[in-house]
Copies of this chain bind each other. A is one copy, B any other.
Amino acid sequence: MKRVAIAAYGITPFSKDDKKIESILFESTKNLLENNPKIEKNEIDTVLVSTNNNSKYLSPILSESIGIQPKIAHSIENLCNSGTNSIVSAYSYIAAGLADIVLVSGAERYDSPGQILEWDNSRGEFKHPIFWASIFTSSYKRKFGISDEELAMVSVKNHSQAQNNPNAISKKTYSVEDVMNSKKITDDLKLLDCSQSCTGGASIILASENIIKKITDQPIWISGVGQKTISAGFTKNNSFNSMESTKIASQTALHMAHKEIHDIDVAEVHDAFSVCEPMALEAIGMANHGEGTKMVKELYETKNLMINPRGGLIGCGHPLGATGIAQTIEITQQLQSRARNRQVENPNTGLVHNMSAAATSSTILVLEK
């Protein structure tokens, strides 16, 4: 089996800009190619597009716009973890010997159709993710005796960390009081507890072991892959205060990478809402059940950037199809010691957690330098 590594990346600022989906795909890919002059673009043999946008044939469109004629070309959608689904697909094409250099480009507009969960009739009219997030928050608080203020710390930390990320949508820091006093959305959620759907793109190139040296002297290896889908409807979850799909995906990925959770030096976790960060930390095994918010508080107070150094979804914004790719880029930069003022000290192993629709589906990637 061929080993697979991340060879290059490009990204756009995350914003509320009204751009065409084709332009967003092009912009992050152009950024990638400009920053990696050793890549012969004609050697890119697969182009995968990750998006919830309704436009068709986006991979051939992106390919033509950058002037290449790949072998494999298509779009991939699985709501909010489309990005890591695409990366795992790219991994498979290379490991299977069908491709050597794969471009994965994720893009979304602020008005993505993936925001509205039309499919889940178990929610009745409550189709916006805010409703499952509210039920999760209520359940998590009740089960573990957690306060709104403790959960607000996730937003405080991630907005703070986002200030070191020039591409993040957040341009200021907030206090716990600011979060508590922000607009009340439901009984359990304030505006600053939520990530924002936004416009943004992120591109990554994966390559096989025999090609990678031509492109970069700092390859980041994908050593663990775990995925799990529990259901489509969030009311089929075993509980509203834990993430079963994330737990299973994490165990699978760590097992494949021959790692334990304490080997992870830096991680991106899918904080679509405040409550998701402690729940994810618990599901992947970094915190005991019910102690995720305690870990978040300690990290913030000790200025430890190891969880969501780029600011997470709450600080960066959440362009659905691009998010998993942007998370993977962050861990790649961290392991390459190129994360500038977001840099965690000398990390060797990192983890990406990307999920969809109330953690009904999760992906975990383990990355190593």
**Contacts A113-B54, A119-B57; A69 near B1 (Cβ below 8 A):** no
Judge if A60 is at the interface, Cβ distance under 8 Å. yes
Q: Does A82 contact B (CB under 8 A)?
A: yes
Which residues of A (231-272) have their CB < 8 Å from a CB of B? 231-233, 236, 249, 252
- Across the interface, name the chain B residue whose C-beta is closest to A252: B71
A118 within 8 A of B: yes
Flag the segment in A85-93, A130-138, A149-157, A298-306 that touches B.
Answer: A85-93
Decide if A57 touches B92 in the complex (CB within 8 Å): no
- Closest residue on chain B to residue A95 by CB atoms: B96
Task: Please tell me if the beta carbons of A63 and B118 are within 8 angstroms of each other in the complex.
Answer: no
**Cβ of A228 under 8 Å from chain B:** yes
Q: Name the residue of chain B whose CB is nearest to the CB of A99.
A: B92
> Given contacts A54-B54, A57-B232, A228-B71, are A96 and B85 in contact (CB under 8 A)?
no
A56 to chain B: which residues have CB within 8 Å?
Answer: 52, 77, 79, 113-114, 117-119
Question: With A and B bound together, what is the CA distance between A57 and B127 in angstroms?
Answer: 13
Q: Does A227 contact B (CB under 8 A)?
A: yes
**Do the beta carbons of B97 and A55 come within 8 Å of each other?**
no
Query: When the two chains form the complex, which single residue of B74, B114, B231, B249 contacts A82, counting CB atoms closer than 8 Å?
Result: B74
Contact yes or no, B85 A92, CB < 8 A: no
Quote the shortest CB–CB distance from A90 to chain B (angstroms). 9
Contact A75 B78 (CB under 8 A): yes
Q: Does A229 contact B (CB under 8 A)?
A: yes
Q: Is A360 in the interface zone, CB < 8 Å from B?
A: yes
Q: Is A61 an interface residue (CB 8 A)?
A: yes
Closest to A77 in B: B75
Report copies per complex: 2
B231 and A60 within 8 A (CB): yes
A337, CB-defined interface residue at 8 Å: no
Q: Are A74 and B85 in contact (CB under 8 A)?
A: yes
Chain B residues whose CB sits within 8 angstroms of the CB of A57 once the complex forms = 77-79, 117, 119, 232, 356-357
Contacts of A47 in B (CB 8 A): 229
Q: Does A59 belong to the interface (CB within 8 Å)? A: yes
| Contacts A236-B64, A361-B60; A118 near B82 (Cβ below 8 A) | no
Q: Pick from B92, B114, B356: contact of A96, CB below 8 A.
A: B92
Contact partner of A225 (CB less than 8 A), chosen from B70, B98, B225, is B98
Within 8 Å CB of A230, what residues of B?
Answer: 69
Q: Are A60 and B114 in contact (CB under 8 A)?
A: no
Taken together as a complex, chains A and B put the C-alpha atoms of A264 and B63 apart, in Å, by 32
Q: Is A72 an interface residue (CB 8 A)?
A: yes
Answer yes or no: A73 CB below 8 A from chain B CBs: yes
Establish whether residues A97 and B95, one from each chain, have CB atoms under 8 Å apart when the complex forms. Answer: yes
Tell me which residues across on chain B come within 8 A of A76, comparing CB atoms. Answer: 74-76
Q: Which residue of B lies closest to A65 (CB)?
A: B232
Contact between chains at B59 and A72 (CB < 8 Å): no
- A to B CB contacts below 8 Å, 25 in the list: A1-B97, A55-B118, A55-B119, A57-B79, A59-B229, A60-B360, A60-B361, A64-B232, A64-B233, A69-B229, A69-B230, A70-B228, A71-B226, A72-B227, A73-B227, A73-B361, A75-B76, A75-B77, A75-B78, A92-B93, A92-B96, A92-B98, A93-B96, A95-B96, A95-B98
Chain A contacts to B: CB under 8 angstroms: 1, 22, 47, 52, 54-61, 63-64, 69-79, 82, 85, 88-89, 91-93, 95-98, 113-114, 117-119, 225-233, 236, 249, 252, 356-357, 360-361
